[in-house]
Amino acid sequence: MGTSAVNDRFLRACRRQPVDRVPVWFMRQAGRYDPEYRAIRQSYTLLDICREPELCARVTRMPVDQLGVDAAILFSDIMVPIGAMGMPFSLQENVGPVMERPLRSEEDVEGLRLFHPEEALPYVLETIRHLATTLPVPLIGFAGGPFTLASYMVEGGPSRDYARTKAMMLARPDLWHRLMDKLARAMAGYLRAQIQAGCAAVQIFDSWVGSLSVHTFRAHVKPHIQQLMAEIADLGAPIIYFGVQTGELLADFAEAGATVVGVDWRTPLDRARKRVGASVALQGNLDPVSLFAPPEALRREVETVLQLGCQSPGYIFNLGHGVKPTTDLAQLQRVVEWVHGFDPIPSVG
Ligand code: CP3
């Protein structure tokens, strides 16, 4: 895997090994904040880009060249494999994923297909194979978490309170567990294929799982996350598990088998560290909105995050959620420069 020329500080931090500089990448680092991306989107839809390996590889690489980040993340969307499971959807601008027909019944759950990644999504794996041999940094593959995927499938689109999803979970636990089990198996197979094609690490985006109480997470989601991560653990690629507003769930994320726990900006990294223990790495957690502050104010925020993150080994700088579409590219460049200028040796006390 990889050549010696590949910058490996991201993978070293995932494994809690010493690093020369704090590694940094940004969730949603390829996207609308970048004029070059917006220009490409004039002629191609997001799903067009995903289906065109050469173009997809180019878009995946853009933030590596422009920002100097220490990892690339495959350009795709968490919904791409949901189409392969037999549920057509569209990605609507400023809305998000919208299902052609929401998943509501027993028959709908039974009808979901466990797809074969090389047959159903050959273009994804072709893009990864191309990138794995050309990128100067490790490539991160990803999949949606079972709860987050189920929320789009059951609601039919984005939702404020996930009422139908939680209703199914509580009223029909048997049906819910079958749905979670299918999604966990399908995503395990998909992530396994991505790692085998050349991804050095994977992230599970369970963005909306923080909407659950701790006890419902433990009863209705955690066993499936645990199963998902266990199914790919033998491959040895670090697994990052992330969701928004998950401060109360962080200890469970570590216990479920994550190598790296993603933290949003609401939970300070020193508090997150107390919750997860010493056996995992942490990733996060600059508030994406602080990128709209003047550079000097932004710099103070970045330093605070770095100081808290570097108190123990195994730390990757990131935002607490994705880059917002109106972010100034120069601000992201500054953040990378500041992170790389920071001395990562843990301070005593
Ligand atoms: O991080 C990266 O740079 C890789 C690419 C990536 C995309 N989506 C591309 C995309 C990743 C990792 C995702 C994951 C994703 N998709 C998540 C989990 C992460 C998160 O933000 O919580 C979710 C919930 C989705 C579903 C989804 N797709 C939403 C909510 C939207 C936004 C709708 C909008 O227009 O604001 C999308 C569309 C989408 N996926 C865009 C991008 C760059 C928007 C821009 C576009 O249409 O070109």
Q: What's the CA-to-centroid distance between 79 and ligand 1, angstroms?
A: 9
Kindly provide the residue ranges of all beta strands, DSSP E only, lying in 135-238, ordered along the sequence: 139-144, 201-205
Q: What's the CA-to-centroid distance between 309 and ligand 1, angstroms?
A: 26
Q: What's the CA-to-centroid distance between 307 and ligand 1, angstroms?
A: 29
The interface predicted TM-score of the complex, written ipTM, equals 0.95
Per-residue pLDDT of 149-199, as tens digits, reads 999 999 999 999 999 999 999 999 999 999 999 999 999 999 999 999 999
Q: What is the pLDDT at residue 6?
A: 84
According to the annotation, is 101 in a ligand binding site? no
The pLDDT of residue 349 is above 80: no
What CATH number has the domain spanning 9-341?
3.20.20.210
The pLDDT of residue 4 is above 60: no
According to the annotation, is 31 in a ligand binding site? yes
Per-residue pLDDT of 45-65, as tens digits, reads 999 999 999 999 999 999 999
* Residue to mutate (ligand 1; options 24, 25, 28; most atoms within 8 A of CB): 28
Peptide bond connecting 318 to the previous residue in cis, omega within 30 degrees of 0: no
Average pLDDT, the chain: 96
Catalytic residues: 28, 32, 41, 77, 152
The pLDDT of residue 208 is above 70: yes
Which residue is closest in CA terms to ligand 1's atom 22? 207
* Residue to mutate (ligand 1; options 34, 43, 51, 77; most atoms within 8 A of CB): 77
The pLDDT of residue 274 is above 50: yes
334 CB-near residues (< 8 Å, 6+ apart): 295, 298, 299
What global pTM score does this model have? 0.97
Residues 192, 197, 199: CA angle, nearest 5 degrees = 75
According to the annotation, is 321 in a ligand binding site? yes
